[in-house]
Structure 1
C-alpha cells in the first residue's frame, strides 16, 4: 500500500517538474527576445564605439604616467576610426594601417593592434575580392614586421603563425558575411520579383475574367434582345389576323427572357458565392444548338443545322465557344437581313478540331459602310483565337454573309480556317 502510494506521488510530481521547466524555458526565451529587440534599437555607431572605449580605458589603467601621452595618442589613432567603419570601411582601414605603421616606427607595442583585425574584417565584408586580398596583404606585412621586432628571441614562428591565423580568420569571416549578405539580398530580390509577377498575373487574370464576362454578357444580351424584338414585331403584326400566332410569339418572348436571365445568372454566378451550382451548370454546348436554331426560326430566321461527327470528347469550354460563335453569327444575320433570309449552320467535329461554318443568303449591303461590324465580330475573333482559330467573316462570292473558323482542341498555334 505504501509502495503504491509512493508511485502515485512520484507520477504526480513529474508533470509539475515538466511544467516548471517549460515555464523557465519560456521566461528565458522572452528575456532573450527582449534583449535582442533592445540591441536592435541601439544605433550601430554605439556598438562600434564600444571597442575604442575599452582600449582607451585599458591604456589609462595599465600604462605608466610617463608613457601615457604616447600610448593614449596611438591607441586613439588606432581605435577611434573604427567608429566610422561601416560608413567608409576602406578609408577606416587605411587610417588604422597608417596608425599601426607609425606605432611600429615609434616601437610602442599596444593591445590596440586588434583594431587592424576589426578593420580587415570590415573591409572584407564590404569590398570585393581584390580589396580583401590587398587589405589582407597589408595586414600580413604588418604582422611580419611586428613579429620581427617584438617577438622574443628564437620564438618568431609561434607568434607569427598564431597572428597569421587570426588575420586569415578575420578575412574569411568578413568574406562569409559579405557572401551571406549578397545571398540574402538576392533571395529578397527574387521574392520581391515573384511577388510582382504574382500581382501581374493576378491583374491579368482579373482583366481576362472581365473580358470574358463582358463577351458573355454581350452575346447573351444581344442575341436574346434581338430575338425578343423580332418576336414582338411578329406578334404586333399578327395580333389581329392570327391571335394564336400572336400568343405563341409572346410565349416565346417570355421563354426567351427567362432564358436570358438564366444565362446572365450563369455568366455572373462566378462573382457571387451564394449562387447555386444548378444555375451555373451545365454550360450551353453543341447539344443546345438545335434549340438555338428553333429559337431563331421562331424569330423569323429560317435556320438549318448540320452537325457532323461526335462531340462527346470536346471539352465543355470549347463547346461553349462553338455555341457562342454560332449564336453571335445567327444574331447578326437576324439583325442585318430582311424577312425571308435563310441561314445554315454546319459543325464538323473531328478528333483534334471543330469547324464552325455559318452562312446566310441575305442581300449584299449597298455600300461598304453597311457591312456588318461592331464588337460582335471582334468578340468572335477573340473566342476563336483562344483555341488557335482564325475567324473569317465577310461577304460570300455568290451573295450573303459567312462566318467560318476552325478551333484546335490540342491548343496548337493558330490555324487558318
Structure 2
C-alpha cells in the first residue's frame, strides 16, 4: 500500500538574494553620492559637503539598520537647517530614510518618521522663504506642501511594501500549514490502514492457530485408536501452519513498506546537510559522522531548524544566515547567526520557538544563549553534551 501523493507546493514569488539586495543598496547610495563631486564648482559653503556626506553615507545601511539611519539623517538635516538657509541636493536622503523606516521597521517608527518629516517640512519652508526675502503665505504654502507630499509619498510607499511583504509571508505560512495538514492526513490514513491490516493479520493467525490446536487435540486422541487418522491430522496441521505463515508474511510485507511516512526515522546530524542546503545559507558542518546519542542529534537538528525558521519569519527581507555545527570533544556545538533586524525584529510576544529550544537543550544538561548581536542581527548558540 502506498499513500496518496501530497499536493505539490505552490511556486513562491521570485525575490532578490541577500547579496543582490546588498549590491542594490550600495548602488543607490553610491549613485546619490556622485553629484557631490560637483560641489566645488557650484560655489557652495564649505559646510555643505560634510553635511551632505552626513546625510547620504548612512543610506548604505538603510535596509539592516533603518531606524539608526533615519535618526542620523534627521540629525544631519536639523544641523543643516541651523547652519544653512538654502536647500541642498543631499536632502533627498530624508525621504529615502523615511521610506526605509516605513518599509523595514515597525509601523510605529513609520508614523514617527512621517510626523518628523511633516514638522521638518514646515521648518524648512519657513527657513528658505525667509532667506529669499519673499515671506508670503503663498510661497510658504508652496514649499511646505511640496516637501510634505514628497515625505508622505515616501512613507506611503514604504508602508505599502511592508504590508505587502507581511501579506505574502502570511500566504506562504498558510500554504505551509495546509501542506503540513495534508501530510498529517496522509500519515493518519496510512496509520488507519495499518491498523486494519493488523486486525486482519490477527484474524488470520488466530484462525490458523485455532485450527492447529483442534487438529492437534484430535490427533492426540486418535493416535492410540487409529494411527492412520493421527498421521492425516498431523499433515493437516502442517498444511494449516504453512498457510497461516504465508498469509502473515504477506501482511507483514505491507506493514514494512519503507515509503510510509508513519515509519520515517527521526532526523540525525547527517540530515543537517539537506536542511541547510535547502535553506540556501552559508554553513560549516564539522564531525557529523562522529557517534552521537540519538536524542542529542535530534536536539541539535531542531535547534538549527527552529533558528532558520526564525530567520525567515523575523530577520527581515534579504537577511543572510550562517550555520556552524561541530561535534568536538564531549559536546555538540551549534551556532546560527543572521544579519537581520536583531533587537528591532517584530515578535509575536510568545517566544515559543526559543522556549522550546531552551527546554530541548536543558533536557540534555546543555546551554543555549539567544539574543540580538552587538553589530546587528540575531545569534543562537548552543552546547549540548554528547
User: TM-score, normalising length from structure 1?
Assistant: 0.49
The answer to whether 1:97 aligns with 2:74 is yes
What's the CA shift for 1:267? 4.4
Q: Segments of 4+ in structure 1 off by > 6 A?
A: none
Q: Aligned in 2, Cα 1:87/1:115: closer, same or farther, shift over 3 Å?
A: same
Q: Which residue of 2 aligns with 1:83?
A: 60
Counterpart residue number, 1:234: 218
CA RMSD of aligned residues (A): 3.3
For the pair shown, which has the larger CA radius of gyration, 1 or 2?
1
CA distance in 1, matches of 2:185, 2:210: 37
Partner Cα separation in structure 2 for residue 72 and residue 45 of structure 1: 26
Q: Which residue of 1 aligns with 2:244?
A: 260
Q: What is the rounded CA distance, in whole Å, between the counterparts of 1:194 and 1:272 in structure 2?
A: 28
Alignment-derived partner of residue 338 in structure 1: none
Aligned to 1:174: 158
Q: 206, 209, 217: which is aligned to 1:222?
A: 206
Stretches of structure 1 lacking an aligned partner (at least 5 in a row) = 1-35, 274-417
Choose the corresponding residue for 1:70, options 40, 47, 58. Answer: 47
**2:135 counterpart of 1:135:** no
Q: Is the 8 A contact 2:62 2:69 kept in 1?
A: yes
Q: Flag the 1:69–1:53 CA change in 2: closer, same or farther, 3 A.
A: farther
In the alignment, structure 1 residue 158 sits paired with structure 2 residue 142: yes
Give the alignment's TM-score, normalised by structure 2: 0.52
Correspondence list, 1:269-288, <5 A: none
Cα distance in 2 for residues equivalent to 1:155 and 1:242: 128
CA distance in 1, matches of 2:43, 2:157: 39
Alignment of 1:52 onto 2:36: no
Judged with a 3 Å threshold, the aligned counterparts in structure 2 of structure 1 residues 251 and 269 are, in CA distance, closer, same or farther, namely: same
Confirm whether residue 109 of structure 1 aligns to residue 87 of structure 2: yes
Asked which structure has the greater RCO (Cα within 8 Å, sep 6+), the reply is 2
Q: Conserved in 2, the CA contact under 8 Å of 1:49 and 1:80?
A: no
Corresponding residue number in structure 2 for 1:191: 175
- Where does 1:31-46 land on structure 2 (aligned, <5 Å)? 40=17, 42-46=19-23
Please, which of 104, 118, 123 is the counterpart of residue 96 of structure 2? 118
Kindly provide the CA deviation profile for residues 49-103 of structure 1, in whole angstroms up to 9, marking residues without a partner as x: 3333233321222543753642210111111111111222112111111111111
Q: Secondary structure in 1 aligned to 2:225?
A: coil
Distance 2:183 2:100 in 1: 39
Spell out, residue by residue over 1:205-241, the C-alpha distance to the aligned partner (whole angstroms, 9 max, x if none).
Answer: 4444444333332332133123213203312431452
